[in-house]
Structure 1
Amino acid sequence: MTATQNPIVTEFRDGELMPVPLKADAIVLQGTFALVDATGFAISSSTAIAGTQKCLGVWDNSADNTDGEDADRIACVRRNKQFLFANLATDAVTQADIGATVYVADNQTVAKSSDTDARPVAGKFMGFDTQYPEYVWVEIQ
């Protein structure tokens, strides 16, 4: 396509909710990390965590593609927010880590380290919850 010389209307969306196609046989659970693998399809919330996965946000709804092929089902990912997750006790973030990158330890827990690149990036640590100090706020964009 060549560059335009005239004003145009460019469609947009706010990016807070993003539809993502599920991998064949994947089941995703509302409120857990929304992860995709190298193919770009959403993987099951119970899939083992790997550093090659990408965290897009948090599932806004559960979806089941158990008997489907890739992209037969779509679920929505909520992003551009701060989400409350458990802090992994054996690799916990501390107050000194405020603003630092944190990593997915399981489908509802973050860790301070990447475990030598074995964990995908979750987002940025934005503080502890005042009511539940074992939980942390993570900003996912």
Structure 2
Amino acid sequence: MPATNQDRNTPHKGGELIVAPVAAGVSIPAGTIVCASATGFATPGVTATTLAYLGMADANVDNSAGADGAVSVPVRRGRAFKWANDAGDPVTQASLGRACYIVDNQTVAKTNGGNTRSQAGTVVALDADGVWVI
């Protein structure tokens, strides 16, 4: 389809809460980091280089006995979430406005760990007990 030079009635919807099909064999606790795997299925945050950060699980979903997409998880997006700060590679005030990286389903780190971690998002604040990421 070629580019248009006419007005276009473009469909749209809110993106703050999405529903993502869950990868086979995983359980995603509510309130934890949710990522998209390389195949596009929702999976918990872990140290891996093939994940795309989606946001926070809005419900507990168990697909440990199911196939890819057998269940779906609601994922909250577009807000800053407070994640735990990795003790071994802590996010610091100097990270404000910069990327942080996924360690596990509730923890972020300052660096990509020697190219072993996927990006979580952007640091927007730092508290004594966690890192705010959007």
Q: Same fold (TM over 0.5)?
A: yes
Q: Using a 3 Å threshold, how does the CA distance of structure 1 residues 97 and 5 change in structure 2: closer, same or farther?
A: closer
Q: Which amino acid in 1 is paired with 2:50?
A: T
**1:136 matches 2:134:** no
- Cα distance in 1 for partners of 2:85, 2:61 equals 26
Q: In structure 2, what is the equivalent of residue 13 of structure 1?
A: 13
Q: What is the deviation of 1:10? A: 2.5
Q: What is the deviation of 1:66? A: 2.3
Give the counterpart of 1:107 among 95, 105, 108.
105
Gap runs ≥5 in structure 1:
none
Q: Is the 8 A contact 2:46 2:102 kept in 1?
A: no
Q: Using a 3 Å threshold, how does the CA distance of structure 1 residues 2 and 29 change in structure 2: closer, same or farther?
A: same
Q: Which amino acid in 2 is paired with 1:107?
A: N
- Cα distance in 1 for partners of 2:98, 2:109 equals 11
Q: In structure 1, what is the equivalent of residue 24 of structure 2?
A: 24
- Cα distance in 2 for partners of 1:120, 1:48 equals 9
Could you give the per-residue CA deviations for residues 50-74 of structure 1, whole angstroms, max 9, x where no partner exists?
Answer: 0111111111111112222111101
RMSD of Structure 2 on Structure 1 (CA): 1.8
Shifted more, 29-38 versus 4-13: the winner is 4-13
**1:124 matches 2:122:** yes
Q: What is the deviation of 1:11? A: 2.0
Could you give the per-residue CA deviations for residues 72-122 of structure 1, whole angstroms, max 9, x where no partner exists?
Answer: 101111111100111111111111211110001111011000012211101
Q: What is the deviation of 1:15? A: 0.7
Q: Is the 8 A contact 2:32 2:105 kept in 1?
A: yes
- Cα distance in 2 for partners of 1:48, 1:93 equals 17
Q: Count how many residue pairs are aligned between Structure 1 and Structure 2.
A: 134
Q: Which amino acid in 2 is paired with 1:135?
A: G
Q: Using a 3 Å threshold, how does the CA distance of structure 1 residues 96 and 8 change in structure 2: closer, same or farther?
A: closer
Q: Which amino acid in 1 is paired with 2:26?
A: A
Q: Is the 8 A contact 2:25 2:63 kept in 1?
A: yes
- Cα distance in 2 for partners of 1:97, 1:119 equals 16
Q: Secondary structure at the match of 1:106?
A: coil
